[in-house]
Amino acid sequence: MIRDNLDTIRKQLPPGVQLVAVSKFHPLEAIREAYAAGQRVFAESRPQELAAKAAELAAAGDCPEIEWHFIGHLQTNKLKLVLPYVSLVQSVDSLHLLKAVNDWGRAAGKRIPVLLELHIAAEESKQGFFEEDALEVLFRAEEYGNVVFRGLMGMATLSEDRDVVSADFGRIRAFFDYLRSLFPEYGDFDQLSIGMSDDFPVALQHGSTMVRIGTAIFGPREY
Ligand SMILES: *Cc1c(COP(=O)(O)O)cnc(C)c1O
């Protein structure tokens, strides 16, 4: 079933769009099944859960090519659970967190790839940068020498109304294009992570380069 779901989704993705399988709340067995079906990039939203899953798979020698992204709200005291395992932190949603990630990277002698999470939804999420603050960060990018800015992440308003969702994605896409034109020297700033199970077709219309899909691959989550 997971294999079939992956096939169905992959058929809808244009070349170059990365599928990130959101495995939060699903057991390792589900991850192994998706991996066996060719999926390599997975994402989690809770630090402990990510660390436990990544450590267990690594210890078992399973899924050697697996890659992890973090997509949840990250408190600075949890960085050590997350940063050793991930190839991308998609959810850098505040200056405070950005500075802490940069400090961690400096101490570890690494550069940590990140996306800036933008506040685009009408109401529910209070997380994320406003455009002017994200702009300010990029103007001062050289202050964050241990971070690699790879692009933007955003979640649309939870709405059945396609026009609302489309407007949210349209705004983040326009801002993404604006940043790319303003900072052509940041060649790595090329990822726009928009689109989840219910809205990824709309996100693709707005130039998503990365979709984060859980339910449509693994089924409903049991919280
Ligand atoms: C849970 C989650 C997803 C996946 O949501 P689905 O609707 O299950 O596809 C994507 N992005 C973020 C940030 C999430 O927390």
Could you tell me if 117 and 128 are in contact, meaning their C-beta atoms sit under 8 angstroms apart?
yes
Asked whether 214 lines ligand 1 (CB < 6 A), one says: yes
pLDDT, tens digit (0-9, with 9 covering 90-100), for 51-108:
999 999 999 999 999 999 999 999 999 999 999 999 999 999 999 999 999 999 999 9
Asked whether 212 lines ligand 1 (CB < 6 A), one says: yes
Closest-CA residue, ligand 1 atom 12, reads 71
> Residue 222 has what pLDDT?
83
Asked whether 125 lines ligand 1 (CB < 6 A), one says: no
Of 101, 108, 103, whose CA–CA distance to 150 is shortest? 101
pLDDT, tens digit (0-9, with 9 covering 90-100), for 183-221:
999 999 999 999 999 999 999 999 999 999 999 999 999
For range 157-186, the mean pLDDT: 96
Helices (H) and strands (E) in the chain, counts: 9, 8
138: left (phi over 0), alpha (psi -120 to 50) or beta: alpha
Asked whether 43 lines ligand 1 (CB < 6 A), one says: no
For range 134-147, the mean pLDDT: 97
Determine the atom of ligand 1 nearest the C-alpha atom of 216: 9
> Residue 173 has what pLDDT?
98
> Residue 125 has what pLDDT?
63
Asked whether 127 lines ligand 1 (CB < 6 A), one says: no
Copy the structure tokens of residue 110.
């690494």
124 pLDDT tier (thresholds 50, 70, 90): low
Q: Exposed, middle or buried, 166 (CB in 10 Å: 0-12/13-18/19+)?
A: middle
CATH superfamily of 2-218: Alanine racemase (3.20.20.10)
Other CB atoms within 10 Å distance of the CB of residue 124: 10
What CA–CA distance (Å, rounded) separates 94 from 218?
A: 30
3-state SS class at 139: helix
pLDDT, tens digit (0-9, with 9 covering 90-100), for 23-57:
999 999 999 999 999 999 999 999 999 999 999 99
Determine the atom of ligand 1 nearest the C-alpha atom of 198: 7
Could you tell me if 113 and 150 are in contact, meaning their C-beta atoms sit under 8 angstroms apart?
yes
pTM of the full predicted structure? Answer: 0.97
